Amino acid sequence: MLTVARAALYGVVPAEVVFAVLLVAGVPLPRLVVVAGEALVTAVIVLEVIAACRLVWERRRDGAGWRDALRSVDRLVPERVRRIMAFDMKGLVSVVLLVVRRRHGVPPGAVSLPYAGGQLTLQLAFLFAMVVEAAVAEMLLRGVGADEGVRSLVLVVDLYSILVVVAIIAACVTRPHVLSDDELRVRYGAFFDLRVPRDLLSSVRLARNFNESGMVRVVDERLSVAVASQTNVVIELSEPIVAVRPLGKRVTVRTVRFFTDDPAALVDALTRPQS
């Protein structure tokens, strides 16, 4: 039933989005199609509820508490989908943190290591271009006499895209790398978070690379967390650790390359004897 429930979600959600787009755009649909579509959605909702109840019941039967049993409902949604949804939520939280000028995950006494400066200019330019594009698209649609439903749909998509970019910028600003007495936390916005125990750091050095491929990449147990295709710090580990890539894949790493706005300060903090 779990497999069937997942397949139903994969099928009905895109269909419902298309259905909503057609209705907003003012496309006339036969009443039979509308009734059949809503009946299908209702059936899928009932199926999901039954599958969720079965998952909770099975966990309770195995002796799990109510909290753990309710968490088993997450299995209805694939991990990748859950992680993408989490990116959106963390991004929105980061926007709030940016407004109130707070940072996430920087405890008292820890060293904050920003990295957003390496890409902020490019990100702001991209955001400005998106705002201009949204305004131009609205004027063009009005000029050609487009239906109000179509204009509203395009505007919502444009505004959502702008919000996504704002959330990415906010996440990179409010979620810096963090060096504490216990660990080095290497992050990239809401997408990546690696905690490296400080006692596993065998060496650290400056090494600038302007040709990194991808944001988070692992090759032969070497992890790169790049900002604008750049890294400038390399740390070697005394033993391998497991890193979780943005969409959930687990990888083993022994070397970590990443970017920070002030790499010298990081190297000094890491090589300075702890009090």
Specify whether the CB–CB gap between 48 and 5 falls below 8 A.
Answer: yes
The identity of residue 8, as a single letter, is: A
**How far is the C-alpha of 258 from the C-alpha of 222, rounded, in Å?**
11
Is a pLDDT exceeding 90 seen at residue 27? no
pLDDT at 8: 63
Contacts of 250 (CB under 8 A, 6+ apart): 242, 243, 244
Is a pLDDT exceeding 60 seen at residue 266? yes
pLDDT at 208: 92
pTM of the model: 0.80
Give mean pLDDT, residues 133-155.
Answer: 85
Which range is least confidently modeled, 43-47, 88-92, 212-216?
43-47
